[in-house]
Every structure is written in C-alpha cells, then in structure tokens.
C-alpha cells in the first residue's frame, strides 16, 4: 500500500518531462507522482524551492479532492465553496481566476460558472472581480498581472487525476519578466555560440547538483564547474542558487564575456555570496581543481537553419563528437565516485522528428560513465528543443562508473 499523500501540485512547462525529471532529482522519486504532464508532490508547497525550479510554471497547494471529473459536479462544488470561504477573508476586493487541466469543458461553460460564482460573492456584500479566461488555463503572465498569488486574490485549479479531480490554489508562479531580464539584459551576448535559456540552465543544475542541496549546510561550498562556459549562463544561474562556480572556455573572448556578465550580475545583486573562478582553458586536456559537480552545454556544432546535405551533416557531427569524446575522456579520471554531471549535447532533428545523436553516446560505459536514470522520466525524453530548430539539446545525466572489486 502506497504511503504517498499528495500536498502540492506542480504545473509543468512546455516540455513536462524536463520539469518532472527536475522534481525527481531534487526531491526523490518516492515524493513525486506524475499527473498527465504535471506532477503531485507529498511536500508542503511552501517547502518547494520554487524560485530555483526551471521546469515548473506554477506550484499550488492542494485543497480538496472531488470524486468526479464531470464539469456540472465541479461547477456546483465551486459555486458552493467559493462564496462560503470568501466570508472568512479580510474585508476588501476579491479577485478570482480559474484554470482547468484535463477536464472536458468548454470555455463558455467555465465562463458561466465564474459569472455565477461572482454574483454569489457580490451578493454577500464583497466587491469581486473575475479574471477572464482566454483558454481553459490561465498562463503565468495572466496570474502575475492580476496578482492572483497575493492577499485577497486566488487562482484556483481543477486538475483531473483518473476518476477524481483535485482542487488546488496557486501560491507561486514563474516570474517571466525576471527570466527575460537576466537573459536579454546581460551586457555580453553572442547568438553564434547558442543561447542557453536560464530555465534550462536551472533544470540542468538541479539534475546534477540537485541531490547535494538538502544535506548542504553551506551552499557556497558546493562548486559547480562549467567547462564550456560560453557567455556564463550556467555560472549565473548557479550563483543565483547559492553555489560557487568555476568556468572555463577555450575561447578567450567567451571568457571575457562570462566575466563581464558575472560582474553585471553582482552589480545587480550584491548580496550574492558564491565564489567565482573563470579562466581560459581547453576542456579536452585541462585539469580542474576542486569542483563538486558539473553542469555544461558542450560544443553544439555549427548553427543551422535547416538540415544540411548528408556529407556536410556528417562533418558537423564528427567535429562535435570529437570534442565531446576528448572532453569526457579527460574528465573521467577527475570525477569523484559520488559526483554527477549533467551535459547538454547536440542532437540533430530530421523533418520526421527523429534525432541523430552523437556516436560517442554509444561508448559512454567503456569510457567510465553510467547513465543516472530516473524512475518517472525515460532517458530518451530528456531532450530540449523548440519547434523549427534543427539542433536540439539532449541532456545527459551521468555518474562515474562504479569499480567493483
């Protein structure tokens, strides 16, 4: 009999497998339950490290479970309960938003239910405003703009779970403006070397360094290494999480870009405490001193707007494969037994959606690595891409291979 007692709901992002993997890495498979592209946790919502989650859009406190997935039953529950509970709120205007996931309902039905709920709340003498739905679920911008996680406002969520429905209240939502600011406003950027999204950097950090967090009394003692630091996105996100960082890159221009961006970050957030060490070095031969874990996007090959002819693609793959192989060979003897790494490596998308992977991925075991697999997410699903992109990022979650006596 399972002892899992859900307390929180995580609404996951555009590629839910990555968000689910991140949650499992941080909190353990036994504390996570997959829920049709989203996740339940048996952890209090206030205890979830939401600011540092890249793959979760909203976190919500579970309020109740309803033994139905039929909209008339859910609408009746909402119409009865919301006016009843608003009576216990402090005086003042009340704002209500509603999001629905997995329930068979039309937008007009949802709007009618909200209107009826609004009338009953107003009848009690309380001013009330309802956030109009453009779709069945409010997006993060709507939740932020309408301040639905603030006092005197609710975003309520209905989400289907088999033959029952959970009702939850959103407590935290991703600050998309903050992500945009620390991505677009960085002083040194170069589109030619790829633009690692801050959210993806967070996910990768949590897939590698995540398990170290609960037992770490001083996060700054954990040193995250990025051997291909580029413009410093991984370093930036690791510092914001509280880690110390070490970054290297073979391109001295990228090293200067990283230094400039990290100086900008400390100017913006002078309270940051993590140590920083950035220098020029070739990842295929350098010996790094004293790192705890590795998070990095390796050389992705040449930027591509479309898939090139087979001979040209073969050359591009060969170049990226050689660098990745030499790096992994160089790293293996330096990696401690209890340390993990998360690498983003290139994978080329065919028009059919099928991926062409680096040949070196078939030789990882012989090089001294084991995949650090997850329970809730298949290894093959750890891929980040946007529609229309030719070069995807496959995430490798690896550990040093155990040497048995």
> Which residues in the chain are classed under CATH 3.40.50.150?
184-400
In this predicted structure, what is the pLDDT of residue 1? Answer: 41
Span 184-400: which CATH code? 3.40.50.150
In this predicted structure, what is the pLDDT of residue 220? Answer: 78
In this predicted structure, what is the pLDDT of residue 335? Answer: 92
**What six digits make up the tokens of 19?**
């968000």
Phi, psi for 333 (deg, rounded to 5): -70, -10
Q: Which residues contact 93 (CB under 8 A, 6 or more apart)?
A: 126, 127, 128, 129, 152
Please give the model's pTM, rounded to 2 decimal places: 0.95
Of the candidate ranges 63-67, 290-294, 394-398, the one whose mean pLDDT is the lowest: 290-294
Alpha-helix residue ranges (DSSP H) falling in 185-303: 198-208, 233-241, 252-268
In this predicted structure, what is the pLDDT of residue 147? Answer: 96
Alpha-helix residue ranges (DSSP H) falling in 5-70: 16-27
Are the C-beta atoms of residues 367 and 18 closer than 8 Å to each other?
no
Q: Find the mean pLDDT for residues 336-349.
A: 91
Local confidence band at 191 (pLDDT 50, 70, 90 cut-offs): low
Q: What is the pLDDT of residues 6-52, one digit of tens each?
A: 999 999 999 999 999 999 999 999 999 999 999 999 999 999 999 99
Q: Determine the Cα–Cα distance for residues 252 and 371; give it in Å rounded to an integer.
A: 32
In this predicted structure, what is the pLDDT of residue 336? Answer: 86
3.30.2130.30, 3.40.50.410, 3.40.50.300, 3.40.50.10490: which CATH number matches 8-174?
Answer: 3.30.2130.30
pLDDT at 344 over 60: yes
Cβ-count burial 51-72 (b if 16+ within 10 Å, e if not)? ebbbbbbbbbbbeeebeebebe
Q: Find the mean pLDDT for residues 326-353.
A: 93
Local confidence band at 321 (pLDDT 50, 70, 90 cut-offs): very high
In this predicted structure, what is the pLDDT of residue 89? Answer: 78
pLDDT at 404 over 60: no
pLDDT at 203 over 50: yes
In this predicted structure, what is the pLDDT of residue 216? Answer: 55
Are the C-beta atoms of residues 187 and 261 closer than 8 Å to each other?
yes
**Please, what is the end-to-end C-alpha distance for the chain in angstroms?**
37
> Which residues in the chain are classed under CATH 3.30.2130.30?
8-174
Q: Find the mean pLDDT for residues 211-217.
A: 59
Q: What is the pLDDT of residues 80-94, one digit of tens each?
A: 999 988 887 778 899
Rg (CA), the chain: 23
Beta strands in 177-240 (DSSP E): 223-226
Q: What is the pLDDT of residues 105-155, one digit of tens each?
A: 999 999 999 999 999 999 988 999 999 999 999 999 999 999 999 999 999
pLDDT at 5 over 80: yes
| Ramachandran sector of residue 151 (left: φ over 0; alpha: ψ -120 to 50; beta: rest) | beta
């Amino acid at each position: 009999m399972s002892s899992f007692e859900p307390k929180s709901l995580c609404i996951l992002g555009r590629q839910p497998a990555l968000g689910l993997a991140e949650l499992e890495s941080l909190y353990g498979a036994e504390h996570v339950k997959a829920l049709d592209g989203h996740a339940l946790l048996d952890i209090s919502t206030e205890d979830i490290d939401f600011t540092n989650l890249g793959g979760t859009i909203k976190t919500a406190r579970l309020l109740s479970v309803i033994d139905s997935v039929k909209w008339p039953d859910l609408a009746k529950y909402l119409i009865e309960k919301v006016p009843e509970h608003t009576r216990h709120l402090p005086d003042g205007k009340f704002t209500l938003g509603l999001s629905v996931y997995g329930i068979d309902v039309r937008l007009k039905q949802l709007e009618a239910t909200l209107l009826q709920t609004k009338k009953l709340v107003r009848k009690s003498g309380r001013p009330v405003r309802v956030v109009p739905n453009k779709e069945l679920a409010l997006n993060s911008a709507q939740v932020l703009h309408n301040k639905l996680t603030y006092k005197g406002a609710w975003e309520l969520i209905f989400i289907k779970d088999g033959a029952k429905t959970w009702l939850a209240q959103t407590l935290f939502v991703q600050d998309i403006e903050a992500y945009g600011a620390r991505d677009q406003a960085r002083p040194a950027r170069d589109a030619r070397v790829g633009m690692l999204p801050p959210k993806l950097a967070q996910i990768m950090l949590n897939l590698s360094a995540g398990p170290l967090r609960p037992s770490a009394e001083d996060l700054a003692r954990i040193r995250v290494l990025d051997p291909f630091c580029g413009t410093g996105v991984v370093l930036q996100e690791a510092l914001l999480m509280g880690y110390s960082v070490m970054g290297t890159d073979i391109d001295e221009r990228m090293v200067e870009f990283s230094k400039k961006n990290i100086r900008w970050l400390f100017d913006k957030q002078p309270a940051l405490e993590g140590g920083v060490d950035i220098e020029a070095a070739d990842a295929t031969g350098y010996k790094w001193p004293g790192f705890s874990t590795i998070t990095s996007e390796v050389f992705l090959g040449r930027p591509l707007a479309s898939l090139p002819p087979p001979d040209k693609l073969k050359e591009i793959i060969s170049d990226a494969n050689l660098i990745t192989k030499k790096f992994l060979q160089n790293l293996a003897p330096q990696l401690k037994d209890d340390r993990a790494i998360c690498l983003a490596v290139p994978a080329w998308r065919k028009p059919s959606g099928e991926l062409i992977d680096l040949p070196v991925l078939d030789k990882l075991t012989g090089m001294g690595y084991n995949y650090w697999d997850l329970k809730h997410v298949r290894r093959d699903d750890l891929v980040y891409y946007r529609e229309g992109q030719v070069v995807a990022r496959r995430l490798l979650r690896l550990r040093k291979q155990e040497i048995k006596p």
